[in-house]
Structure formats: C-alpha cells, structure tokens
C-alpha cells in the first residue's frame, strides 16, 4: 500500500504583506450594495487613489467597468473581485471573514486592453478601451458587409455576417467562445478574430493573430447596412471604420485566490461540458 504525500499548507502571510488600506466599489444592485455596507463597516473604506487594493463587488460586467476606471485614473492598484453577480469568471467567492489576510495570499494576472478607434458616418472619431473584446454588429435586419485588414494588408475583401469580434485572451472565454471562437491562454500572446454568424464565406471560422497585430474593419455599404462597434460596454453606432490594437503601454492587475488564477480558469474552461 502506498500513500500520497500530504501537501504542505500555504505559508501564512507576514504582517507587512497584509493590506490595511482597502477601497470597496460596488455595482448598483441590492446584493452588491448590501455587501458594500457590511465590508466597509468591518474593514473601513478609502478612496481608490489611496488604496493598496481595490475590492470590486458585483459581476464580470462591473469588474470590467472597475478595471476601466483604474486605467482611466492611471492607477497601478490591483483589483480583487468578489462575486455578487451570476457567472463571475473574473471574480472570487463572496467570503467576508479574514479578507485582508486572504488578499495577502492572492495571485496576480496582468491584463492589457484593446484600444478601439472608431469613425462614424458623420466623421466623428471615438476611442475606447476593452479588456474583453471589441465587436461589430449589424444594426438592422440586413447582414453587415465588412472588409478585414491585418497590419495594413487586406485579408478578406468582403465578409458578409452579423458581425465580427476581436478578443483579448481574458475575453476569449466570453462572447468569443459563444461565437465558436478559440480559447486563448494568457501566455499565448494571441488575439482571436472571430466572425459572428458568417454567411459568406460561410465556412470561415476566424483567425488567431499575434498580439501585435493591427486589425481594421471597413464597413461596406454603410448607408444601407449600418453597423455598431462595441468596446466592452461602450457602443458607437453608425461606424464606417474601426481600428483595433492591443495597448501594451497600459496594464491592469487582477487578483485571484490561490489555485484559482485566471490562467487556470481559462484552461479549465476548455475541459468543461
């Protein structure tokens, strides 16, 4: 008879590693606001600009909003999510006890956003950041017609579809996966380009591009077939062209409980039913 060795327990965090300055941010839901009140009373609450850790209370959507705020404020503060939503792929369990000690044992994942530059029919230009994906989608009953360029080269003169999306590795398990795109590990330095309900070419399933790729969409027949562009939750309607590239100059850090890193979750998702 053989016995498996018992794994050693993780080392306890030292006092200097335990954060004392925590900022809580809550989604505008009853459950998130309830947890915000409880946690703020117990651990205190300070401005995000002065915090060692930002704790985000909500679901994946609010986590993306929080990360965008961190980027826009120019903060380097890591963000730890506690799930008050439904899926919670980017979140950790809602456990109130010993929160500072748990924060001291977390593991970090660094994410780089996509930067979208969209031009509307009116000539107006808009920029937005996306940590999940940028997608284009038809606004009417008629299919969209898109020309796809990669690094200045036309790769697809005409894609007839409901839309198309470019995802980050972190976002590859979200809309991209639902559209039958590939899951990409964080270390892969790849961006999945995935069509949404392609009609012509019908059998095109998309492409895996290097993270340095510059992807451009030109909307063909944009007056007849209007298209919207969406960077996470920011929507720009009636676009004529959209340019997307990963912005490596920007980084956000997301914290996960031990053994539940984002890389592990992405790997596990590939074996789920």
Q: Which of 60, 97, 247, 257 is catalytic?
A: 60
Q: How many whole angstroms separate alpha carbon 252 and alpha carbon 36? A: 22
Q: Identify the DSSP state of 49.
A: G
Query: Which helix (H) or strand (E) is 143 found in, with range?
Result: none
Helix (H) or strand (E) holding 172: none
Residue 258, token pair as written in the block: 């031990």
Binding-site residue positions: 60-61, 132-133, 162, 170, 173-178
Contact 103, 19 (CB under 8 A): yes
Quick count: other Cβ atoms within 10 Å of Cβ 202?
9
232 is an active site residue: no
For 112-137, give the secondary structure using H, E and C: CCEEEEEEECCCCEEEEEECCEEEEE
DSSP 200: B
Extract the annotated binding site for NAD(+): 60-61, 132-133, 162, 170, 173-178
* Residues facing residue 147 across a β-bridge: 218
Q: For residue 138, what are the β-bridge partners?
A: 227
CA distance 232 to 247: 15
How crowded is residue 178: how many other Cβ atoms within 10 Å of its Cβ?
Answer: 10
Give the C-alpha separation, 59 to 31, whole Å.
11
Residue positions annotated with a catalytic role: 60
């Amino acid at each position: 008879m053989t016995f498996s060795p018992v794994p050693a327990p993780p080392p306890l965090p030292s006092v200097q590693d335990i954060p004392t300055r925590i900022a809580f941010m809550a989604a505008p839901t009853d459950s998130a606001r309830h947890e915000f009140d409880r946690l703020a009373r117990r651990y205190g609450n300070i401005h995000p600009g002065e915090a060692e850790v930002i704790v985000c209370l909500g679901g994946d959507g609010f986590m993306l909003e929080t990360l965008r705020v961190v980027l826009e404020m120019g903060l380097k503060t890591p963000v730890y999510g506690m799930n008050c939503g439904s899926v919670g792929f980017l979140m950790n369990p809602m456990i109130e006890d010993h929160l500072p000690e748990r924060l001291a044992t977390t593991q970090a994942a660094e994410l780089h956003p996509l930067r979208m530059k969209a031009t509307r029919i009116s000539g107006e230009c808009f920029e937005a950041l996306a940590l999940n994906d940028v997608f284009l989608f038809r606004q009417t009953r008629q299919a969209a017609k898109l020309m796809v360029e990669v690094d200045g080269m036309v790769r697809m003169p005409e894609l007839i579809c409901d839309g198309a999306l470019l995802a980050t590795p972190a976002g590859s398990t979200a809309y991209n996966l639902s559209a039958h795109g590939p899951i990409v590990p964080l270390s892969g330095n790849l961006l999945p380009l995935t069509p949404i309900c392609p009609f012509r070419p019908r059998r095109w399933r998309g492409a895996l591009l290097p993270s340095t790729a510059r992807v451009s969409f030109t909307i063909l027949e944009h007056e007849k077939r209007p298209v919207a562009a969406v960077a996470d939750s920011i929507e720009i309607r009636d676009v004529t062209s959209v340019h997307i590239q990963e912005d490596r100059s920007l980084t956000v850090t997301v914290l996960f409980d031990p053994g539940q890193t984002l890389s592990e979750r992405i790997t596990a998702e590939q074996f789920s039913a």
